[in-house]
Structure 1
Amino acid sequence: MTPRFAVVEILVADMARSLAFYRELGLALPASADAEPHVEHELPGGLKLAWDTEATVASFTPDFTPPTSRGRISLAFQLDTPAEVDELHDRLVGLGHKSELTPFDAFWGQRYAVVEDPDGNGIDLFATR
């Protein structure tokens, strides 16, 4: 038996708010998913990104307490140009999301920024310079 990495799951307080954020990052998530307790989205290559509400996890996890500290995962989204990093960062911040790192030219050759999703997870935005 060989385990296969297949899914990245995100614990969310508000499904609709979280999915709206990820739609801004280009994921085609149907509006009907906003009211679901669990949502999966297949990415190119077969890896899945999934969201579970705190209530869903509490339904099968005894003594579940949602984390109160910042997020524990980070996802990275690649853009085509450095200007697109700046534009997407500014759009997300304009929608009320917190900027963790404003766009900058990183020493490793990327235009790079980090915005938090509604649950405090760091979302990296980058493009090769």
Structure 2
Amino acid sequence: MNQPQSHDDATGPRFEGLSAVTLATHDMERAVAFYLALGFPLSYGGPSEAFTSFEFGGTYLNLILDTRGPVLWWGRVIVHVSDVDAVYQKALAAGYRPEAPPADASWGERYFHICDPDGHEISIARRL
């Protein structure tokens, strides 16, 4: 069985950061409304476009309109914010129901999870 190995090659290319995550949506208008309600800053596209981007901290969360069937796997996007509780309150005020209130985790983050209208799990977090 292959064991993962880290190669510290000073002469080779480095991975420098994550630029973007793109999530599929079946309803761009509904998805954009969800992310705007949580306070995500819109940088490109919008409710009537086939591709939309939200930019924060040099990283993009993209949405792409996809009319194929439902996604049959699971994943989570973790977004760090300055005030987890304020984003939680924005979600409640917009009528969304996160699975649980914000909590402090043993791994050193305050967080809550919420699913977007297409079922993608979004974790809103900050380091403690």
The alignment's TM-score, normalised by the length of structure 2, stands at: 0.68
Q: How many positions carry a matched residue from both structures?
A: 113
CA shift for structure 1 position 113: 0.9
> Structure 2 matches for 1:6-85, cutoff 5 A?
6-29=19-42, 33-41=46-54, 43-45=56-58, 47-55=59-67, 64-67=68-71, 72-80=74-82, 84-85=83-84
Q: Which residue is equivalent to 2:122? A: 123
**Aligned partner letter, 2:101:** T
**Aligned partner letter, 1:33:** G
- Where structure 1 has 5 or more consecutive residues not aligned to the other structure, the ranges are 56-63
CA shift for structure 1 position 17: 1.7
Larger radius of gyration: 2
| CA pair 7-100 structure 1, distance change in 2 beyond 3 A | same
**Aligned partner letter, 1:77:** V
CA shift for structure 1 position 43: 5.0
Q: Provide the aligned C-alpha RMSD in A.
A: 2.8
Q: Distance in 2 between matches of 1:76 and 1:6?
A: 14
| CA pair 97-36 structure 1, distance change in 2 beyond 3 A | same
The alignment's TM-score, normalised by the length of structure 1, stands at: 0.67
CA shift for structure 1 position 42: 5.0
Q: Is contact 2:78–2:124 with CA below 8 Å preserved after alignment?
A: yes
CA shift for structure 1 position 31: 8.8
| CA pair 128-40 structure 1, distance change in 2 beyond 3 A | closer
Look up the SS of the partner of 1:49 in the other structure. strand
CA shift for structure 1 position 112: 1.4
Name the % identity.
27
Question: Displaced runs of 4+ in structure 1, greater than 6 A?
Answer: none
Q: Is contact 2:44–2:53 with CA below 8 Å preserved after alignment?
A: no
Q: Is contact 2:24–2:64 with CA below 8 Å preserved after alignment?
A: yes
**Aligned partner letter, 2:95:** G
- Where structure 2 has 5 or more consecutive residues not aligned to the other structure, the ranges are 1-12
